Chain A
Amino acid sequence: MSVTTSNYYGKIFISDEAIASVAASAALECVGVVDLVNKKLSDNFAELFKKQQLGKGVKVITNGNRIFIDLFVILKYGISISAVAESIKKTIKYKVEEFSGMIVDAVNVNVVGVRV
């Protein structure tokens, strides 16, 4: 799926993958985020065959021009998880809205691990 918007000249499609890679790079810039991980096993197989996966650990669901993002992260040990999760949400919402011009409805952060 993709988000679409149209103006006077025609339509603009932004694919989920594009949004996922923006979200992933924004998340990695946040303090305390060590890595993003795939949630499903099949994603790991896909990683074996593809060289690089930009939107790893990010699930994007779009509906019309609304965006919902699920994020699977590994955080660093010894930081405040709630503070980091809060800053991830804020950063991703801002970066994706700036990039796509569409509204991000929800950013769900799943902390799947902690690295010491």
Chain B
Amino acid sequence: MQKTINGAMFRKMVIGAYNNLDANKKYIDSLNVYPVPDGDTGNNMFLTMKSAATHVNDCTTNNMDGLAESFSKGALRGARGNSGVILSQIIRGLSTELGLHNDFTTKNFADAMAVGAKMAYKAVAAPKEGTILTVIRVMAESAEAIAKKCPDFEEFFKQVLQVGEDI
């Protein structure tokens, strides 16, 4: 049972996310309809995540504060397109909260998701529902309730991702 996650584990999480996005970018491209239906969303998000993952990979320490900082900085530097900018904002919110704890629990992670969602919403003057914004908001809202019941990360992520799928 995985109750806390530390820096080394977090590094692996980021790399895993990057590989997963790489595999699915074609599918995300095909979803792209807003605001310009040019089908580059997946690629934009991939490039943003690539820069974030490279920064995390190059980070010399395994402390959470250092890792979180390079994660958000990398995403910010590499942001491309609308979806990339939203992603970088979510990551920035997530990282500011996660950087405070060296071993974070499911509850910390739920808080971090809420901060990330809030930051992403603040970046848009006229937020449109039915986009990635809705997904992160609903996931963040339910993550808090799920974290209370389940301290195990494996179960926590499974349930939160299920909520994301259900929207």
Contact = CB atoms under 8 A, between A and B. Distances in A.
A1 interface: no
A79 B125 contact: no
Interface of A: 26, 28-35, 76, 78-80, 83-84, 86-87, 90-91, 94-95
A76 to B, nearest CB: 5
Q: Is the interface of B mostly helix, strand, loop or mixed?
A: helix
Contacts of A26: 35
A28 to B, nearest CB: 5
Contacts of A76: 122-123
Contact of A29 (B38, B79, B119, B128): B128
Interface in B49-104: 76-77, 79-82, 84-86, 88-89, 92
A30 B35 contact: yes
B36 A94 contact: yes
B1 interface: no
15 contacts: A29-B124, A31-B82, A31-B124, A32-B124, A35-B125, A80-B77, A83-B79, A83-B80, A83-B85, A87-B81, A90-B81, A91-B82, A94-B35, A94-B36, A95-B36
